[in-house]
Chains A and B, each alone.
Chain A
Amino acid sequence: MLLATPLFYFLTKHYYAEDMIDIIEAVGQGQPIPALDLEEDIMHGIMIQFGVITVVLAVAIVLTVRFISRRLWKPFDEMLLRIEGFRLEDGKLPALPESDVEEFARLNRTLTALMEGSLASYRTQKEFTENASHELQTPLAVFQSKLDLLLQQPDLTRQQAELMQILYETSNRLSRLNRNLLLLAKIDNRQYGQMEDINLTRFLEEQASYLQSITGDIFFYEEFTNSGLTVRANRTLLESLVNNLVVNAVRYNRPGGEIYLTVSDRELTVSNTSDEPALDARLIFNRFYRPSEKVKGNGLGLAIVRAICEYHGWKVEYQYRDNRHCFIVNF
């Protein structure tokens, strides 16, 4: 309003009081008083004044509100920013900014309590998975050891032996499932801290004979165009990643099919021929997702692949091109 005073002065002088000034000037100079049209003049002036005051007030209000609200919401914005950065998996509670506004302080307290609660239950759940898997190992060991003893019976019949073979395979599946769950839980719990720089090509060449031994009649092609690619990784997990991808490529291949293992740029691609149609790229990495009923795996292989990639900050994706299923890990 103060800033607008010269404007008011100018308006008053030229539109509102100009007749009065004319009269005063005329009287001062001894001239005859000019004719007045007071009514029109006043109306004119009031309208202008009203308009100007409205505009000035509006501008002032808008500016004030914006300024005040920005200051007022500043702690709230900051709080939002920190909450946006909150990840349950990191297990870290963000420190919310202090506020002397009662409502914000309450919001702070509630949010902190909420996050603490979810962190605690997440931790308990993770620990539960790991503990449950550990606890299952011993009964599994008892089961397996009794099978081994049963096999020693001298008068075992063919029928009994065949039943035992099924039991052996089932117990193998059970312990495999359990180990995989444990592996996932351990990755979630960040228990693979030891990282080293690994030359990917050399690493794959070390694994190659091992991998080829399980491929059977499937052709195994390797093509390494970037032999200098070094990745920072945990060796155990990298092995598990490659094994899972290759075993998958073998498992869903067709007899006499092909597997391609390629390294280029910063990418590792495992692709295979298959009788299966293209898969749903959004679902296949989910735990226990099974695209068809003739499944042999336990539905955790690709979930482990994804968990390992996320753990190292890599990206894994699935593509279907040239009738081949491709799994691409981007380091």
Chain B
Amino acid sequence: MWVNIVKNPILLQYIFKFPYYLCFHVYSSNAMKLLIIEDERELSASIVTYLSSENYVCEQAFTYAEALEKVGLYDYDCVLLDLMLPGGNGLDILREIRKRQNPVGVIIVSAKDSLDDKVRGLEIGADDYLAKPFHLPELSMRIYAIIRRREFAGGNLLHSNGIEINLPAKLVSVKGRPVVLTRTEYELLLFFIGNAGKVVSKAAMAEHLSGDMADMLDSHDFVYTHIKNLKAKLAEAGVRDCVKNVYGTGYKWIEL
């Protein structure tokens, strides 16, 4: 048995790291746990840096075997899954996760933006699909949406800076008084709140708002008009200074 353990580096690694995992589980009892399965280390590092400061604790896996190991050993709130991994196909990991009746949220992140993969991934039980390249705020927003959905099972209210958002009804109100927003402004507000405290680039917002169409648009300037209108409507309802402009390149939602 000991020979086997010594021969198996992954097992050995876990034995050495055991105290750490113990801490990890105690420490992170109220933070959300994410597993980032992505073989491109720089991209994985970016995601970890961006998300860590929000109430997330991130674990990384770089290979198929590593991912399978971690998925089997621990519970996560959300898993980011790259499909093309060294050593295997990400869809098999997804199958493994679903076989365990695990209620974890799974977002597929793939360089292969093919409809087949998307359909198959969603069929097997992924919650969302994001094609590379993506903006980190977009990813953060999607994770936020999935975790909220799972935590509160849909029928919930979102609060930020005294603004109340009824998500199922898509209604926004401040101190009980409704604020009428256009669909774009509403989307923008949710995008801001999903990235609270972070500078969100105009480019990310443009892509979030216009989807595939952003591909064809030449500038991100149309975002500015929508932000201006949203700020004006919120200010009229009494919520001021919650959007900070970073020299026109990005915007930041500040929790007052």
Residues of chain A whose beta carbon lies under 8 Å from any beta carbon of chain B: 134-135, 137-138, 140-149, 151-152, 156, 158, 161-162, 164-165, 168-169, 171-172, 175-176, 179-180, 182, 186, 191-192, 194, 210, 213-214, 216, 236, 239-240, 243-244, 247, 251, 296-297, 301
Contacts and interface: CB of A to CB of B under 8 A. Distances in A.
B115 interface: yes
A176 B250 contact: no
Given A142-B42, A145-B47, A172-B207, 17 more contacts: A134-B112, A137-B111, A138-B111, A141-B40, A148-B201, A151-B246, A161-B247, A161-B249, A165-B248, A168-B203, A169-B219, A172-B214, A182-B113, A191-B114, A192-B115, A194-B115, A236-B115
Given A148-B135, A151-B246, A152-B199, A176 B111 contact: no
A145 B49 CA distance: 10
A179 B132 contact: no
B112 to A, nearest CB: 6
Nearest to B138: A148
27 contacts: A137-B132, A137-B133, A138-B111, A140-B132, A140-B133, A141-B111, A142-B42, A144-B134, A144-B136, A145-B43, A146-B46, A148-B137, A149-B46, A149-B136, A151-B199, A151-B246, A161-B246, A164-B201, A165-B202, A168-B220, A175-B215, A179-B215, A213-B210, A214-B210, A236-B115, A239-B212, A247-B213
Given A165-B248, A214-B210, A145 B46 contact: yes
A144 B204 CA distance: 10
B202 A168 contact: yes
Contacts of B215: 175-176, 179-180
B249 A243 contact: no
B70 to A, nearest CB: 22
A273 B102 CA distance: 57
A244 B218 CA distance: 13
Given A137-B111, A179-B113, A182-B113, A301 B216 contact: yes
Contacts of A137: 111-113, 131-133
Given A151-B199, A161-B249, A172-B203, A145 B50 contact: yes
Given A137-B111, A141-B134, A145-B43, A162 B203 contact: no
Contacts of A158: 247
Contact of B43 (A142, A172, A297): A142
Contacts of B250: 151, 161
Contacts of A149: 46, 49-50, 136
Given A168-B203, A214-B210, A148 B249 contact: no
Contact of B201 (A168, A191, A240): A168
Given A144-B135, A151-B246, A161-B249, A176 B216 contact: yes
B98 interface: no
A145 B222 CA distance: 22
Interface in B239-256: 246-250
B6 interface: no
Contacts of A172: 203, 207, 214, 220
B217 interface: yes
A141 B219 contact: no
B198 interface: yes
A148 B135 CA distance: 7
Contacts, number: 126
Contact of A141 (B50, B132, B137): B132
Given A142-B42, A164-B249, A152 B198 contact: yes
Contacts of B136: 144-145, 148-149
A214 B213 contact: yes
A60 to B, nearest CB: 68
Contact of A247 (B202, B216, B249): B216
B120 to A, nearest CB: 14
A165 B249 contact: yes
A99 B211 CA distance: 58
| 10 A-B pairs with least C-beta separation | A145-B46, A161-B247, A141-B133, A137-B111, A148-B136, A140-B133, A141-B132, A168-B203, A161-B249, A247-B216
Contacts of A151: 199, 201, 246, 249-250
A49 B159 CA distance: 118
A162 B247 contact: yes
Contacts of B133: 137-138, 140-141, 143-145, 171, 175
B29 to A, nearest CB: 27
Nearest to A247: B216
Interface string B4-44: 00000000000000000000000000000000000010110
B169 to A, nearest CB: 21
Contacts of A165: 202, 248-249
Nearest to A144: B133
Contact of A147 (B111, B201, B214): B201
A243 to B, nearest CB: 6
A141 B43 contact: yes
B46 A148 contact: yes
